[in-house]
Amino acid sequence: MSDAQTALPQQQSKQRQYATLIYAAFIAGLCSIIYELLIATTVSYFMGDSVKFFSLTIGLYMAAMGFGSYISKFITDKLLQRFVIAEILLGLIGGISIPLLYFTYTTTALFYPTYVVLTLCIGFLIGLEIPFLTRLMENYQVLKSNIANILSLDYLGALIATIAFPFFLLPVMGIYQSSLLFGLINMSIAAVVLYAYRKTLGKTGKKLQFLAAAMSVVIVVMLVFSSQTLKEWDQMLYNGRIVHSEQTPYQKITLTKSKDDLRLYLNGVLQFSSVDEYRYHESLVMMPMTYADKPIKRVLVLGAGDGLAVRELLKYPEIAQIVLVDLDARMTALAKNNPHLLDINLGSLGNPKVQVVIADAFVFLEQNKQAFDLIINDLPDPNTIALSRLYSKQYYRLARANLTSDGLMVTQATSPFFVKPAFWSIAKTIEAAGFDYTYPYHTNVPSFGDWGFVLSALQPINFIPKRPVENSLFLTHETMPSLFVFEKDIQEIDVEINQIDKPVVLDYYLNSWRYFSD
């Protein structure tokens, strides 16, 4: 065989090996960002305070990556084998990271340690990747080209990951299955490297092939049974039988039923129980409707995609139009079509008086041009930075601009007992936004405990009933004044107002709940 005939296969083999390392750099960048997003999102879902946990995750991740990069300089022999081992470990640990977090959250007290250890381990292994790849590619290109190619592909993978996560992975696959899928994708690095370098690695390569295959089988089995596992895991979190569960681009929606009790959970947080939700929704809607001096023709409802607040509004014939604004189209679709929800919201969102707008409440208020006689803020509690902005001075100023001069606004304001600083911060923030007349009130909702609201206006309210209490199960004209009375242990305290650039209500809320949950 001539030298030319010998050189051709060698050249082809070298090209395959180079292409393999290029692929490894791209997939490494893709997976590294996905793992970081998955872990931070999971912890934020379970514990709230997304800013805190995204910041903590990024900090731990970057520190561990730096340590991994530093340690790589001491690894001088068997570089290819060690790179493959690192990718197998990364595929396994990254792949099962979210299942492990789910498991520890529901069955042990080790959730926080597990979160920290997983983040550090994954960060450390990712820190090894770029130094290893750069040194492995020394045989194919000069250093400046190696670094440029590896980093550009790594960053390209990261870009694709950040686009795919919110628009595909989260809404279509969910966090749990995405973790397992990317564990397999990460494991493919080991597979292609082992194939491309099979002659170089010899018997060691076969052992590593067996190890990679075994770890891949573990992940595949977990992925195959993930739907059943998730159902069982979900059921552990809830008392009732799960009748609907889905992950949307914005939240995890879960409906449970136990006898006649239908419950809605968003990201695991209870939103209502059909046993007593009428107490909450009557207090939210009937208080402003009873005391409004002028006819209420146009009503804006922000949040309340379940249709229950709208159900109460439809009891008043004088209302000509209800505009409901909710961020999540899947929530309003469920309210229109799910038989369990239809039983209690009475098909309210299908009423011709009701217009459903899928939009962010803040953005809607910025863009809306026609004023409303009544604005109802029935938004989730301010347990994330995104939600806390909907309780800010800037938000309430926008709401005020969307209100007629003699209109009313009512806001659900969390619990004055469990999160007293948050409740009074919301009340104070509404006043600071230009509502000269604010009237905090509260009621007992057994599923939640003592729950608070703030009625506000630009003109003083004359608390003489102007309308009958329509088809109520809870409120009467005689009992309504008592809702404005606050017992000594929940009376107003000195707190700061909530602003977008200083979301104190988030800290008030999380710190208070942490006290009661510890």
Looking at the annotation, which residues are catalytic? Answer: 378
User: Which tokens sit at 132?
Assistant: 């290893």
* Whole-number Å distance between alpha carbons of 383 and 363: 20
CA neighbours closer than 13 Å in the CB half-sphere of residue 336: 13
Residue 340 DSSP symbol: H
CB atoms within 10 A of CB 491: 12
Note whether 153 and 22 are within 8 A (CB).
yes
Instruction: Determine contact, residues 327/406, Cβ cutoff 8 Å.
Output: no
Nearest CA to 230 among 35, 42, 36?
Answer: 42
**Rounded Cα–Cα distance for residues 175 and 318 (Å):** 46
CA distance 170 to 503: 26
Distance CA 66, CA 400 (A): 49
Taking the CA of residue 241 as centre, how many other CA atoms within 13 Å lie in the half-sphere pointing to its CB?
Answer: 6
The full 3-state SS of 392-415, as one line of letters, equals: CHHHHHHHHHCEEEEEEEEEECCC
For residues 393 and 72, give the distance between their C-alpha atoms in angstroms, rounded to a whole number: 50
Tracing tokens 């905090």 back to the chain, one arrives at 440
Nearest partner of 385 among 306, 283, 498, judged by Cα: 498
Instruction: Write the CB contacts of 179 (distance below 8 Å, at least 6 apart in sequence).
Output: 35, 38, 94, 95, 96, 97, 98, 99
Contact 410, 483 (CB under 8 A): no
The span from the CA of 444 to the CA of 377, in Å, is 19
Q: How far apart are CA 247 and CA 241, in angstroms?
A: 18
8 A C-beta contact, residue 194 and residue 84: yes
* CA 282 – CA 473 distance, rounded (Å): 8
| Contact (CB, 8 A) for 250 and 327 | yes
- The token duo for 281 is 């929704």
* Structure tokens that stand for 392 in this block: 């800010």
CA 460 to mean position of chain CA atoms: 39
